[in-house]
Amino acid sequence: MTSSIKPILPGAAIGVLGSGQLGRMFAIAARQMGYRVHTFSPETDTPTGQVSDVEIAASYSDLDAVRKFAQGVAAVTFEFENVPAVCVEAAAAFVPVRPGGGVLHITQNRLREKTFLSSNGFPTTVFAPVRSQADLAPALAKTGLPAILKTASSGYDGKGQAKVVSLEEASRAFADCGSQEMIAEGFVDFELEFSVVLARGLDGSFAHWGTIENRHKHHILDLSTAPARMAAGASARAIEVARALAQKLDLVGVLCIEFFLTRSGEILVNELAPRPHNSGHLTIDAARTSQFEQQLRAVCGLPLGSTEFVAAAAMANLLGDLWHAGEPDWAAACALPDVKLHLYGKVEPRPGRKMGHLTALAASPELAAQTVLLARQKLSTRA
C-alpha cells in the first residue's frame, strides 16, 4: 500500500445505500472487524438494518436525508446498483463513495454496459438497442433469431426479459414491457454459465476467487460451485478479462462479472454487478477472506485479504417456495456437519424470494454440490 493512502480504520462508521441481504452480510463482516454500519433505504426492519448500528428510512430522492446520512459516516458503499445517480452525487459531496458514480452509471443500464464492453474490446454477445417498435426488425437482423430482449434498466433474476423466436414475439414482448428502452442480444448456446468475483483496492491491488460455476432455475441462481468445471485456459482468460475490466472501470470495491462459456470454448461477458454477488456467498465459509470482508477492506483502503479456498464449495439458494408447507426443517439440514445455514431475516417468504442459502464444503465441487442439495432437500421432507 502506498504511503499516500490513509485508510479508514476500525471504529469508523461505514454507510450502506440499500438494505437487503448483501448489505446484511457486509454489515456482519464490518462489525466483526470493529466498524460501525449505518444503512439507508426506504424501509425499516430490513435485513441490513437488523444488524446495523443505525438504520435510516428515507427515500433515495430525499437528498437532504442523503446528505445528513453521508455526514455521519466515513465512506459510503452500496449493496445494489440501482441507487439513483443524484443520491450518489449527494453523498459524494461529503465522503468517498466506493465504487464511484461512474461505475454505477455504466452498470445501471444494459445498453451503456454492453456499449462500454464492446467499445473497449471486451468479449460480449452481439447486441442492438430497441427504443421503439421500428427498431425491432433491424435489431433482430443484427442479432439473429432466437434472441433475448431485456429492459435496459431495473431488471434482475430474469425479470424484464424474454426469449423471442420471431419478430411478432419480439413486438409483443416489447409492448408487454411498456415499450420502454430495451436491448436485443444474440442467443448464446453456452456450455456453462460462470462468474468471476473480484476486488480491487484503492491502491490498484487485485484479488479474485477464481471461476465459480452457476446453475439457474427459472432465471434465478439456484446453485453455485467452486472451482468451476472448465479448462484451465478458459479460466485464465476470464481472470485476465476481469483484471482488465476492473482497471478500465477504475473500480474500488467488489465486482462480479457473469460470463458464458460457449461450446467452442469462447468466453463472453454477460453482465456486470459492481457489488458482492449471490454466486460469491460461498466465499463466507470456503475462503480465507469473504467477498464481504473484501468489500470492506477495499472501501476502507485496507490491504486486500487472501482469497485462498480452504476446500471446494457449493452454495444453494433458499427461496420462499420452501415455506409452502410450513417452516422448513432447519435441524435436518444442520445435521449434515459440512453444511452451513445463512438466513437473511426476511419475515415474509414469497415464491421466488431469496430468503437465505446453504453452503457445503467438500473435497471436490461435485461432492459439495451433492451435499448442499441433499441438505436443501431435507428442509422440506419432515418425517
**What does the pLDDT look like over 313-326, one tens digit per residue?**
999 999 999 999 89
The per-residue pLDDT for range 122-150, each reduced to its tens digit, is 999 999 999 999 999 999 999 999 999 99
CATH number of 13-97: 3.40.50.20
Rounded Cα distance, 154 and 82, in Å: 7
The per-residue pLDDT for range 302-348, each reduced to its tens digit, is 999 999 999 999 999 999 999 998 999 999 999 999 999 999 999 89
* Assigned superfamily of 190-379: ATP-grasp fold, B domain (3.30.470.20)
Confidence of residue 5 (pLDDT cuts 50, 70, 90): confident
DSSP states along 204-264: S-EEEEEEEEEEEETTEEEEEEES-SS-HHHHHHHHHHHHHHHHHHT--EEEEEEEEEETT
Give the CA count within 13 Å in the CB-facing half-sphere of 144: 6
Give exposure, 109-118, as e/b (b: 16+ Cβ within 10 Å).
Answer: bbbebbbbbe
DSSP H stretches of helix in 276-349: 283-286, 291-300, 330-334
Which pLDDT does position 213 carry in this prediction? 98
Residues composing the chain: 383
β-pair partners for 200: 206, 253
Indicate if 126-186 has the same CATH topology as 13-97.
Answer: no
In the CATH hierarchy, which fold is given to the domain comprising 126-186? Dna Ligase; domain 1 (3.30.1490)
- Phi, psi angle pair for 62, to nearest 5°: -85, 85
Q: Residue 341 CA to chain centroid, in angstroms? A: 20
| Mean of the per-residue pLDDT values of the chain | 95
The domain spans of the chain are: 13-97, 126-186, 190-379
| E strand or H helix that includes residue 106 | helix 101-107
